[in-house]
């Protein structure tokens, strides 16, 4: 049934949020950062169960990633495994999505200027302090 498929009202919780997976500044000198990150997360997530979708919220300062698993059991494994774990020197927060919070953040003009400056310096082989 299409209404049920599109609804957040699930019989079992399948949507997981992981915070602190990255900081947007990590992408400033690597244009492939988010693509590589998404691939790495997906490779680990499928070990817990089939993944329906995975979304990296690129400009979110909390480093948010959303994963929808095919089963509630896989989502539960993810929450149990990832919550409190350290990744890239940051402690992860992993929990079930509440169905309401919007994690999308537009890139600020200031952030865009810093990113462009760092990328240009990277291409020119310079260090930015």
pLDDT, tens digit (0-9, with 9 covering 90-100), for 26-59: 887 788 999 999 999 999 999 999 999 999 999 9
> Quick one: which of 79, 68, 69 has its CA closest to 49?
69
Listing DSSP states for 96-124 in one string gives E--S------PPPHHHHHHHHHHHHHHHT
Residue 2: predicted pLDDT: 42
Q: How confident is the model at residue 126 (pLDDT cuts 50, 70, 90)?
A: low
Ramachandran region of residue 99, left (φ > 0), alpha (ψ -120 to 50) or beta? Answer: left
Q: Please tell me the pTM assigned to this model.
A: 0.79
CA distance 129 to 121: 11
Q: What is the pLDDT of residue 127?
A: 58
Q: Token pair of 66, please?
A: 């959303």
What's 84's DSSP letter?
Answer: T
Residues 84-99: pLDDT tens digits?
A: 999 989 999 999 999 9
What is residue 67's DSSP assignment? E
**Token match 């979708």: residue?**
53
Coil, helix or strand at residue 60: coil
Please name the residue ranges forming H helices in the chain: 2-6, 33-45, 72-82, 109-123
């Amino acid at each position: 049934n299409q209404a049920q498929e599109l609804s957040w009202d699930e019989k079992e919780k399948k949507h997981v949020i992981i915070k602190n997976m990255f900081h947007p500044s990590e992408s400033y000198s690597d244009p492939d950062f988010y693509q590589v990150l998404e691939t790495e997360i997906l490779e680990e997530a499928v070990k817990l169960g089939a993944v329906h979708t995975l979304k990296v919220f690129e400009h979110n300062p909390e480093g948010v990633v959303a994963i929808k698993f095919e089963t509630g059991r896989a989502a539960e494994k993810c929450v149990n495994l990832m919550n409190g774990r350290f990744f890239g020197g940051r402690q992860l927060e992993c929990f079930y999505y509440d169905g309401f919070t919007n994690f999308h953040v537009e890139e600020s003009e200031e952030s865009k200027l810093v990113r462009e400056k760092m990328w240009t310096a990277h291409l020119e082989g310079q260090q930015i302090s």
